[in-house]
Structure formats: C-alpha cells, structure tokens
Chain A
Amino acid sequence: MSYEYFVNLFNEMAADYMCLKGNEIDIPTAGKFMNILEKAANQAAEQKMEPVVVAAGWLNKLLEKTVLAQLQDAKEISPLLGEGISLLQDIADGYTKSEKYEGDITGFGKKVSPFIGISIPEQLDITSSSSADTTSEKIEINQEGVKTKASGENDSDKTTPPSSETKIKDESLLRDFVVEGLEYIEQIEINILNLEKYPDDKNYINAIFRPFHSIKGVASFLDLGTIRDLAHKLENLLDKARNGALVVTPSVIDVVLEGADALKALITGVSKQLEGKPQAETDFDLPALSEKIESLEEGKKPPAKIAKIGQIFLEEGYITPEELEKGLQIKEVNPGKKLGETLISEGKLTPKQVSSALRKQSEMAAEVSSIRVDTRKLDDLIDMVGELVINQAMVQQDIKGLTGIDRNLSRDIGQLSRIISSLQRLSTGLRMVPIKQTFQRMSRLVRDLARNSGKSIRVELVGEETEIDRNMVEEIYNPLVHMVRNSVDHGLEMPEERIKQGKPPEGLIRLSAYHRGGNIIIEITDDGKGLDKEKILSRALKSGLVSSEEGLSEQDIYKLIFLPGLSTAEKVTDVSGRGVGMDVVKQAVGRLRGKIEIESKPGSGTTFFVSFPLTMAIIDGMIVKIGAQYYIVPLTAVSQALRPRREDCISVVGSQEMISAMGQLFPLVRLHSLFDIIPEKENPWDATVLIMEADNRRKCFLVDKIIGKAEVVIKNLGGGLGKVKGVSGGAILGDGRVGLILDTEGIFAMSESLL
C-alpha cells in the first residue's frame, strides 16, 4: 500500500483533533482515533515502517490511559496528542518523499512516557532505517506500548467513589432486591448442577456468573457491603473459569454452592430486617468461605480434609469426649468464642495445648496437595495393573515346580506378589472419590422437593467421606434421585399429619454411606409413615403382578414396589405416582450389579439399603464351562445352582423347555444353542442349571459344569468386535485362559427372540 494511505489517515486525525472543543478529547473521538491508530499500526508493521508502529503504539496507549483515567490530566494530555498526530504526519511525509523518516521520535517518547508508564530508552535507534535487522527489538517496544492492557487496574474506580451520603435507602428497592436476588440464586443453583455435568460449558458458567454479577451491582448501590463483597468474590472466581484460567473442579462447584447458600442467607437476612425481625445469626463462616474462594482462585484446592480442632484435642488425649461435648455446648451459647478459648477458660486445656493443636491443624492443611490426572490415564493404569495381577498368577503357576527347589526364587516370587497386590489396592484407590458431592446434590434435591410439596424436611448426611469409584458416581445418581424422591413423596407425611402422629413436624431424610466387604452400602432412611404392606399387596393383586399373597415374605411384598406399573401414590405428582420410578431404580441398580433391600416399620419409617460393588472394574463371577469354552456369569445374578431331576425337566414338543424348582417353573435357556457350540452334556439332568435373575424375571441357564468362583477384571472385547449380543465383556482367568462374561439380561432377550 502506498504511503499516501498513511498521509490521509493522519490528516483525518489532525482534522478531527482541530475540531475538538478546547482541544479536549472526548470518548467518541478517542475511540475513533484508537481505531485509526490500530489500522495504521497494523499496516505500518506490514510495510516495516517502524517509526509509525512505535509512535502509533504510544499514542494508542496514551488514549487508553486518557479514557480509563476519565480525562483527569486532559489538559496536559491533549497537547501531547496533537504533537503525536503531527509527528505521525511528519513520518508519513518522510516516507512519501524518501521512503524513510529522518527525524527522531524518542523526544516525543520521553514526553509521553510519564503518562503511559513506559520508560523510553535513550538510544532507540529506530529513527530512520527500515531494514529488517532491528525489527524484533522494535516490535517488543511496540508491544509494550500497546499490549499492557492485561495489568488491569481500575484507575477510574477512584473517580466514582461510593459516597455514603447518597445511599439509597428506599425500602421498596430493598424489597425488590430480596425477591429478585433470591430468584437469581435459584437460577444459580439450577445451573450449577448443569455445570457439574458439563464443567467446560461456557454457557453454564456464564449463566452462573451473570446473576452473581447482577447481585453485586445492585448490592453496591443499596450499600449492602457484605453481599456485594461475597458476590464479587464468587464472580471473580467464575470469571476465571470463564476465561479458562480456572478448571471447574468439584471443589469449585462446592464452593460456589456454599457461596450461593451464604448469599441466600444474607439476602434473607435483609428481608428479615425489613420486616423488623431481629436478624438471625447466619451459620456461615464468611471469612472462611472467602478464604476458600481465594485459595481456589489461586489454583489451590481448598483445605477440605482438615480435622476440626476438637478432633485434634481428642486425638492428642488433651480432653475426654465428654469435655469436648460440654465445650461445644458452651460454645453454642457464646458463638463469638472459639472452642479453644472456651476450653481454656473452663480449665480443661492449657494455652500451650491449644496452640500446639492449632499448629498441628495448620500442618495438616499444608499437607493437602494434589495434581490433576486425566481419568483415562487412570483407567489405563488400573487396567494394566489388572493385567499384571493376572500375569503374576500365571507365572506363579508356571514355576510351581521350581519354587520348591530354589528357595531364592520362591522368596522373590512371594515378595513380588505382595508388591503387586499392594499396587493393585493403591491403583484402585486412585480412582476413588468421596461420595460427598453426590450426597450434597441429594440434599439440594430434597430441599427443592420440600419446597414444592410443602413439607418441611431435615437432611442428615452420614459417611460423606466414604469413597466410591469415580466411574460410578454418575451411574448411581439416577437411582438415588428416584429413591430420595420416593421417600420425600410417599414416605414423609405433611407437617400437620406428623404432629397428629406425635412426631416432630420436620421430617427426616438420612443418607448414609459405608463400606462393607467389597461393597459400598448406601442407606436412604426416612422417618415417615413406612410402607403400607396391605396397599402394596392389593395393588399388586389388582394389577395381576402377583397371583396370591401365599408364600410372600414381608421382604417379598416390599420388593413388589420395584415392579413396573405399581404405584401406591394416591395422587400423581410431577415426580412420582405414575408407576415409573422404582422399577427404574431396580434396573439401574441391577446394571451396576448392585442389590436393594428394604426395611420398613409402619408409622416410623422406611430404609432402603442399596449395595454396589466398590468398582465396576472387577466382577465377582462364577466360572462355568460349556463344551471347551469358559464363561463367567455375574454372581449377583445367580440365585441358585442345581442339577434337576429328570422328572423336573418339562419338555413339550414345540414349546419352551421348563425346569421345575422350588415349586416354580422356570424357562430353560440352552446357552450352547445360543452360542452355537457343542456341549458335553445335552440333558439338563446330567448337566447343571443356574437359576438366573434379571429384569425381575428368572430363567435357567444350562451349563456343563461349574468350575469355581473368581474375582475377574472386566475387559471390553475391543473395538473390532463391537457389541456382541449376550456378552458384556471378557476376562483373563487365573490360568491364562480367556472367558467371556455373560450379560444376563441380554441372554434373556436373545432366548425370547428365538422362540
């Protein structure tokens, strides 16, 4: 492009500058100039006209400062601007005449430097040459001149200090703020659940960021400092997430939720004040919350696992549990006082003990550090360790004969297997996360349900630290939601009803989690009316789900609620009562190879016990053999294994073969015909049948024999095979053979499609 272009651009600027009233630059003109300068600098950079690039950069920076400082030094800056424009005109003229600029721009640079905060070196050496050698240096200068935006100080904040005299004390505004603010927080709560599912979705981050931002804005006008500051902190945190500077981890979500709760309490406090009620003490430790937010912002994990100080007192043996209890009670009465102080003044502790406990507490905080690892890497690691375990077993098998001869070898092998098994424990542990987050989502759900149903409900969480395989967290969510909804909707009574029953008006939902054996057990308890056995039974009879109540135990009757189409709800609410729900739960739990038990007492409540295997990576299986093939059936699906008598095998030509056992008839599934292999034994009375349960139905699988029981590591069949009907995966058995893991439901379906 010709130099004429620059001459025209800068002439235009000069003309605009002359038109300014009193040569004082206004914002629209500044904007126009900035656009022109940017255009000019870009074009000049292409044509290697460094003096233009540098001078335009300075001017641009000068304008930015002017705009941001809201024209504080306008009187001094304005002439400088004029000078800069003339300089640019000179440079453009120079290039038009002789393709270079003979003058010196450092003089101007020195004049602007105090305003734009850049020091201009004595020797810039960019005066005339347009050779490429010195380009890199100049561009650096240019970048400094233009790209210091990031330093982000709010110069102009100072110009509009929130003056306390003009506080808006309009009550109706405060009222509006309370209503709208609470609505906004509700939005936040909804969106944060979405964000939890899709932590990278900028739309969800925005949908949470904006309400905080709006709340902050209004709070700043209404002089609600605490609300403003908290909303501001949360907004900053989310802004970081929005810009990709912060990864949305569960701890971020927790903190934002906690922040939303605190804001809600603060806003409710405002409304209480408006009504003239005394403001209730908030339960929120705001300084601690702020600290958490700030440490997250700095990229640290919140010190979540720090033991409570009282716990440390106990562990160190300074006090007895009774003394701690008493101290806590006293503290409850005097909320301002710390536990340590209370116990010192009670004479239970010395100041030295308190300070040493405090030191211990802060040391624990310092120990919490972590790195982030891609879960796929973890999965691969766990997979490889699984292989290693199997391989180790094979090696051990292979050298069995040698270990008796070589004692060193046998010692080494023993050592190796110990190391490998602790490696396996460790690696499985890596993928474990506390169930806390899932529980908190449940308690939020309960709160929402309570609000909708007009019930008042207290949620108790027990064993939140219990760990569960990360891959299962999503899977258990839906069944838990259904059960919790069921408890709230059908279990708990309305407050009036509860008072009549002599119960506290507030219902209780308790979620607890603990490990037992290789399982995690989750209990969902309500203190409601309990399951109505009669009603369940009559519904089941009416809808033909059962034919008679004979032989049904209490447990059996309760379990009828898991059948599709059975609902004892009197009225259909938006969450339950449509006869779907509990059967979905049963299916989902089954898919996770879990089990559900129910305990219920009329009038005093119901507990669901759900047990899941700790991890989806390992299955407790029964190894069976058909022909030369080994198969693994999930142990949870096997309800019985037996060899039927000849007369128990009912076979009528043209219809389904049946096996009679336990007084019932079960359809027989000949696995060998499904998989097209030749069995050793054709007749059920020579072979073995397994009574399998899935989808609330039971069928018999015909196998040659049972080899044994084993824990196997589940492997998928690999992309090449895709989905194979009736098979859910494969496993390497202890002797190195491969066995296919049977998918009980799939086989049920296959056997039916054959008929």
Chain B
Amino acid sequence: MEKDIKILVVDDFATMRKVIKNLLKQARFENVVEAEDGVAALRILKSQKIDLIISDWNMPNMTGLDLLKAVRADSDIAQTPFLMVTAEALQENVIAAVKAGVNNYIVKPFTAETLNEKITRILEKIG
C-alpha cells in the first residue's frame, strides 16, 4: 500500500537524493519531490503542500540547519515536520538542530527500516 504523504528530499548530491528516494520507495513512500538546495526547497515548500522534509545537514550556501530555521520562521510552513540527515551524530549539530525545532534526525548510512521508523514516529506525534 502506498502511503499518502508527500515528502521533500533536500540534498545537493543528486546520487544521495536518489539513494534516499530508493529507500523511501522500499518503505512505500512513493510521493517524493526533490530539491538540490535550501533555496529550491523553500520555493517548493511555498508552492505545494509538503508533509515532511528530509534534508541533509551539509549543503552549500544554505545548510540544513539554515533551512530548518527558515522553515520554522515562516508561519505558512512552520509546522512542516523536518527530519535532518547527518553524517555523524556530531553532538553540537544535533543539539543545535533540536533547539531549532527539528522533529528528528537520522544518521548516515541508514536502512529503509530505520527511515520508516523515524518517519512513522514523527507522523504519529503530529497525529
């Protein structure tokens, strides 16, 4: 069964976006849009309804944290659940993201199961 939520995947590395898309597909999330940086992500968020953002931390120009802060600061989209992808669980990064209002974070590399679990948990909390 396909799960009916629209997920925005943000990463500057196209292969990485594809990897995440594949994993999402394995977890039966088929409705996925992509953005290659924070600016493109914000444009998409403004123009269509997104149910969940999965963003990389490390991106040029605008980091994942910057994107998170921008999302939270914009009342139209502030409520969008945000899952941060990090390479290592660098403590200060994670804490900074948590303080900025991230819904959860996930450490590379992850499996489809972990990803599914995180997403499910976020969505449960939202209700």
Contacts and interface: CB of A to CB of B under 8 A. Distances in A.
Interface in A149-180: 149, 151-157, 159-160, 162-163, 166, 168, 170, 173, 176-177, 180
Contact of A154 (B56, B88, B109, B114): B88
A154 B88 CA distance: 7
B125 A160 contact: no
Interface in B83-117: 87-92, 94-95, 98-114
B16 interface: yes
A177 B58 contact: no
A214 B92 CA distance: 20
B107 to A, nearest CB: 5
A30 B105 CA distance: 13
A151 B87 CA distance: 17
B58 A214 contact: yes
B120 interface: no
Interface string A580-598: 0000000000000000000
A30 B13 contact: no
Interface residues of B, number: 40
A210 interface: yes
A168 B21 CA distance: 12
A180 B14 CA distance: 8
B122 to A, nearest CB: 9
A220 B13 contact: no
Interface string B67-94: 0000000000000000000011111101
Interface string B15-31: 11011001100000000
Interface string A173-199: 100110011001000000000000000
Given A27-B104, A217-B108, A34 B95 contact: yes
Contacts of A404: none
A149 B90 CA distance: 9
Given A160-B110, A217-B108, A221-B109, A176 B15 contact: yes
Contacts of B51: none
Contact of A67 (B58, B87, B94, B125): B94
B99 A31 contact: yes
A28 interface: yes
Interface string A647-677: 0000000000000000000000000000000
A204 to B, nearest CB: 12
A44 B12 CA distance: 43
B114 to A, nearest CB: 5
A35 B15 contact: no
Contacts of B109: 160, 162, 217, 220-221
A233 interface: no
A160 B19 contact: no
Interface in B40-73: 56, 58-60
B22 A168 contact: yes
A464 interface: no
A156 B106 CA distance: 9
A26 interface: yes
A214 B86 CA distance: 11
Contact of A163 (B19, B88, B111): B111
A166 B22 contact: no
Given A31-B101, A68-B89, A217 B13 contact: yes
A461 B18 CA distance: 42
B107 A31 contact: no
B114 A160 contact: yes
A218 interface: yes
Contacts of A154: 88-90, 107
Contact of B107 (A64, A67, A156, A173): A156
A699 interface: no
7 contacts: A149-B92, A154-B88, A159-B107, A160-B111, A162-B111, A166-B112, A221-B16
Given A28-B102, A173-B15, 5 more contacts: A166-B111, A177-B15, A210-B58, A220-B109, A221-B16
Interface of B: 12-16, 18-19, 22-23, 56, 58-60, 87-92, 94-95, 98-114, 121, 125
7 nearest A-B pairs in the assembled complex, by CB-CB distance: A220-B109, A31-B98, A156-B89, A214-B13, A166-B111, A176-B15, A221-B109
